Amino acid sequence: MLNDPNGLCFWQGRWHLFYQAYPPDEFPDSKDIKIRRQHWGHAVSEDLVHWRDLPYALYPGIEKKCFSGSTVVEEDRVVAFYPGIEAGQMVATSRDPLLLNWEKSEPLNSDRGDSDIWKEGDTYYGLIGGREKYHPYSAGLPISITSRIYSHAVWPKWTLWTSKDLVNWKSQGEFLYENTPFTAQFDDGACPNFSAIGDKHILLFFSHSNGGQYFLGDYDKETHKFRPYDHGRFNHGRVAPGGVHAPSVAADGKGGVINILNINDGKQSDDWDQILSLPQQLNLGEDKTLRIKPVETIQSLRGEHQTIGETIIPANKEIILKTIQGNVIELNLEIDPQLSRWVQLNVLRSPNAEEQTAITFYNFDRPLTYWYETKGEIVLDGSRSSNLDDVWIRPPERAIMSRGDETLKLRVFIDCSVVEIFANE
């Protein structure tokens, strides 16, 4: 049982990843899943690909639950910063090589909420995000259909706090500049993660309606405020079913950022809930927008290799690659759509195509009419992915894709019931 990843960091030669963990022995009956208490689970890796479980790192104590936060690495210790439910914002520190033993502080004199921490000089900075409240009209709905309904007319707000000693904290006000250039609205800013990337900064966060997202922008170290100039998403649909959830990031030491998210389930189970994504390498392109690809060490998982040479794809005809089979596959494709209107790759296809997952590129290289120019679009469509009656089908995800003069380069990772696509980074 896991939920948000937390506190990704590199410490004494190893990557450490924490995550929201729910010990099943505390409330062993599956009907009590919702009352299990969040701990920080813990895994360690030397390459971000092969992971070993370690004992839980943080247990509830004075706090009822240990919610989502992050870590900052210092020369002689790692500091965790997280919300302790019904207690307050919390700090915990660890100095041992495997980060097995943690010492907690008393609750802090600050706001509380999902949080991030970093250090500039001798000052710690704590970024705290709030969550959107339930929509006021939800209380008036018939009880049979009442659910979490979130208002979308909300801009996510984060407050910034500073401390010299991790004990006494002072508010610096809201983190975003007023009059941001964005007119779009977002529902909430949970699980914030803030990091330098190239000569800019990135603020990653989670929306309880629309999943993992990010802002790219400029960070003023004099005013300690952030002004975003670009926005993007890590999935292109709603948060569930099967959506990409909360981020956890760490600097890679080369000007880029490593990002890991969790993926929501699409099939109810009493025994497990959610998995983690492939680790992503985030960098800035020459145009100062984000580039996303899997970490290079993922290549260590490659086994049998097959090559399909240059192939002319005829119009209106399906080509079945009979030698390419299986449900644990990495596909690398380079496609030149030329003047075709669309091209489609079907994966996890049953022999007679009763089940398949479609990846379609809609190619608008030419103006549609005298009046409109439409950018290309890539669509992940799982509406025919399963015939099982207990699977929740995810609506198609659509992403605008301007490739310019580039060919279409797809990296598709299939891992049983999960499909992750990286298109032209």
pLDDT of residue 180: 65
pLDDT of residue 147: 35
Convert the pLDDT of each residue in 200-226 to its tens digit.
Answer: 999 999 988 889 999 999 999 999 999
Nearest of 64, 16, 71 to residue 38 by alpha carbon: 64
Prior bond to 396 cis, omega within 30? no
Compute the average pLDDT of residues 398-412: 91
- DSSP labels for 298-323? GGGG--S----------TT-----TT
In whole angstroms, give the CA distance from residue 96 to residue 202: 30
pLDDT of residue 182: 59
Convert the pLDDT of each residue in 271-309 to its tens digit.
Answer: 788 999 999 999 999 999 999 999 999 999 999 999 999
pLDDT of residue 370: 81
pLDDT of residue 130: 62
Cβ pair 244, 212 in contact under 8 A: yes
Q: How far is CA 34 from the centre of its chain?
A: 23
pLDDT band at 24 (very low <50, low <70, confident <90, very high): confident
Convert the pLDDT of each residue in 103-117 to its tens digit.
Answer: 999 999 989 999 999
In whole angstroms, give the CA distance from residue 351 to residue 361: 23
DSSP state of 31: G
pLDDT of residue 34: 81
Segment holding 203, helix H or strand E: strand 200-207
What residue type is assigned to position 247 of the chain?
A: P
- Beta bridge partners, 94, equal 78
pLDDT of residue 183: 45
pLDDT of residue 306: 93
Between strands 103-104 and 88-94, the pairing is antiparallel
Total residues belonging to the chain: 425
- DSSP labels for 155-187? ---EEEEEESSSSS-EEEEESBPSS-S-----S
Convert the pLDDT of each residue in 363-388 to its tens digit.
Answer: 987 777 888 888 899 999 999 999 99
HSE at residue 87, side-chain half, CA atoms within 13 A, is: 20
Does 134 score more than 90 pLDDT?
A: no
pLDDT of residue 230: 93
In whole angstroms, give the CA distance from residue 420 to residue 50: 18
pLDDT of residue 78: 98
Does 133 score more than 60 pLDDT?
A: no
pLDDT of residue 138: 30
Cβ pair 266, 391 in contact under 8 A: yes
Q: Please, which residues have CB within 8 angstroms of residue 50's CB and are 6 or more apart in sequence?
A: 300
pLDDT of residue 146: 33
pLDDT of residue 394: 92
Does 149 score more than 80 pLDDT?
A: no
Looking at the chain, the whole-number percentage of residues with pLDDT higher than 70 is 92
For residues 400 and 34, which has the higher predicted lDDT (pLDDT)? Answer: 400
In whole angstroms, give the CA distance from residue 214 to residue 204: 4
Q: How far is CA 228 from the centre of its chain?
A: 19
pLDDT of residue 135: 32
The side-by-side arrangement of strands in the sheet containing 418-423 is: 328-335, 408-415, 418-423
pLDDT band at 270 (very low <50, low <70, confident <90, very high): confident
Convert the pLDDT of each residue in 80-111 to its tens digit.
Answer: 999 999 999 999 999 999 999 999 999 999 89
Average pLDDT, the chain: 89
pLDDT of residue 384: 95
Does 143 score more than 70 pLDDT?
A: no
In whole angstroms, give the CA distance from residue 257 to residue 248: 10
In whole angstroms, give the CA distance from residue 13 to residue 46: 7
- DSSP labels for 67-130? ---EEEE-SS-EEEEEEETTTEEEEEEE-STT----EE-PPPSS--SSEEEEEETTEEEEEEE-
In whole angstroms, give the CA distance from residue 256 to residue 359: 28
Does 137 score more than 50 pLDDT?
A: no
- Cα-trace Rg, the chain: 23
Compute the average pLDDT of residues 32-53: 94
In whole angstroms, give the CA distance from residue 115 to residue 68: 7
Comparing 34-48, 55-69, 181-195, the range with the smallest average pLDDT is 181-195
pLDDT of residue 365: 77
Nearest of 202, 211, 205 to residue 192 by alpha carbon: 205
Q: At CB < 8 A and 24+ separation, what contacts does 25-31 make?
A: 30/270, 30/271
Coil, helix or strand at residue 136: helix
pLDDT band at 1 (very low <50, low <70, confident <90, very high): confident
